[in-house]
Structure 1
Amino acid sequence: MIISPSRETLDKLVCHQVHNLFLLDEDEREKLVGLIPGVLGKVEYCFGHSSNKYYRKDGVVFFDVYHSGQYCIFLYFLSRSLFLESSGNTDLAAKVYCLNKALNGLDVFYEIAMPEIFHLDHPVGSVLGRATYGNNFTFAQLCTVGNNKGIFPEIGENVQMLSGSKIIGKCKIGDNVIISANAYVKDTDIPANSLVFGSSPNLVIKPRKVLPE
């Protein structure tokens, strides 16, 4: 994977940003930098499945540190890795989570298990709760995934949430579903290969033709 401008710049940038906002002691700095190689492996795998032209350069997976969407995904994987390695002390994971929220306007907590492959486009204002997410989950700005009475959605593979859409509560979203812009799905199951419009309980669900890979 190509890292632009460099891996060294990435290490310095993350440490500098966390320290400036929340303070970073030497033990935390060492732990953070030590986890970055593993995180970059997750980033490379995720980016390698993107069809976005900005995620590849000369046929090689490309990570532009100054591309906010790419950096956003990197920071999520970093906060998640720090949480999994925290042994109960989640302060550093929380700092990176808050850095991501401050820089990119995305609220995806480090305890939430995003899939190995997910995509985003202008994630500002989106909040992703403790749902189950399938691979190739894609979302845009102002999207919400949340609970109703403590029950979260189950989201299949290749699900796309367009801008302003919401999935709330006891929902099972099938594979290859597109939730249209500003649609509101609450406590409703959606069959696979569907296009969804409108608001619960008056949703409009249309079949979607999915081309074979």
Structure 2
Amino acid sequence: MLVSPSVEMLGKLVKHQIHNLFFIDEYEADAVLASLSAALENTEYCFSFSKNKYYKKNGCVFFSIYHSGQYCIFLYFLARQVISDFPALRDLADKIYFLNKALNGLDLYYEVVMPKVFNLDHPVGSVMGRADYGENFTFSQLCTVGNNKGVFPEIGENVQMFSGAKILGRCKIGDDVIISANSYIKDENVPSNSLVFGSSPSLVIKPRKG
């Protein structure tokens, strides 16, 4: 993967940003660098499936540390890698999570298990809760996935949430589902290969063509 301007600069940037917002000690700084390589491997795998033109350059997977969407995904993987490599450094993982939230306006906690491949586009104002996410999940701005009475959704593969869409509670969303802008799904199931409009309990569900 091509990292612009460099992996070295990426490490310096993360440490500097954490230090400016929360403070980082020498041991935590070393832990960030130790977890960097594995986090980048996960980032590269995720980006390799993207159809977004900004994620490829000269035929290679491309990561610009100044592309907010790309950096957002990387910080999620980094926080998860830190807590995996250094379980005692929960405070550091929390700092990376809060850094992501501060910079990108996304609430995506490192204990939320996202699929290996997921996509986001302008994720400002989105909250991703502890649902069961299928591969190639995509969301945009102001999206919410959350619980109702402690029950979270189950989301299939290749599900797309457009801006302002919400999935809450005891929901089973099938594969290859498009959830239109501002749709609100609560405690309802959606079959595979569907287009979803409107709000529960009066959802409009149509089959996808093609």
TM-score when normalising by structure 2? 0.98
Q: Is structure 2 residue 92 aligned with structure 1 residue 92?
A: yes
Q: Which residue is equivalent to 1:28?
A: 28
Q: Distance in 2 between matches of 1:193 and 1:16?
A: 45
After superposition, the C-alpha distances for 1:36-68 in whole angstroms (9 at most, x for unaligned) are 000000010000000000000011000000000
User: What's the secondary structure of 1:46's corresponding residue?
Assistant: helix
Residues 106 and 126, structure 2, Cα contact 8 Å, conserved in 1: yes
Count of residue pairs brought into register by the alignment? 210
Q: Is structure 2 residue 66 aligned with structure 1 residue 72?
A: no
Residues 119 and 137, structure 1, Cα contact 8 Å, conserved in 2: yes
Counterpart residue type for residue 156 of structure 2? G
Q: Distance in 2 between matches of 1:84 and 1:132?
A: 20
Q: Distance in 1 between matches of 2:89 and 2:98?
A: 16
Q: Distance in 2 between matches of 1:153 and 1:84?
A: 25
Q: Which residue is equivalent to 1:161?
A: 161
Q: Distance in 2 between matches of 1:97 and 1:86?
A: 15
Counterpart residue type for residue 58 of structure 1? N
Q: Distance in 2 between matches of 1:87 and 1:96?
A: 14
Q: Any gaps of 5 or more consecutive residues in structure 2? A: none
User: What's the secondary structure of 2:50's corresponding residue?
Assistant: coil
Q: Distance in 2 between matches of 1:172 and 1:164?
A: 19
Counterpart residue type for residue 13 of structure 2? L
Q: Which residue is equivalent to 1:63?
A: 63
Q: Which residue is equivalent to 1:177?
A: 177
Q: Distance in 2 between matches of 1:6 and 1:118?
A: 24
Give the drift of 1:88.
4.3
What RMSD over aligned residues (CA atoms) do the two structures have, in Å?
A: 0.8
Give the drift of 1:192.
0.2
Q: Distance in 2 between matches of 1:2 and 1:150?
A: 42
Give the drift of 1:131.
0.1
Q: Deviation above 3 Å: which 4+ runs of structure 1?
A: none
Q: Distance in 1 between matches of 2:34 and 2:72?
A: 19
Q: Distance in 2 between matches of 1:136 and 1:95?
A: 27
User: What's the secondary structure of 2:114's corresponding residue?
Assistant: coil
Q: Distance in 2 between matches of 1:166 and 1:141?
A: 11
Counterpart residue type for residue 75 of structure 2? L
Residues 82 and 89, structure 2, Cα contact 8 Å, conserved in 1: no
Q: Is structure 2 residue 18 aligned with structure 1 residue 18?
A: yes
Q: Distance in 2 between matches of 1:88 and 1:66?
A: 30
User: What's the secondary structure of 1:145's corresponding residue?
Assistant: strand
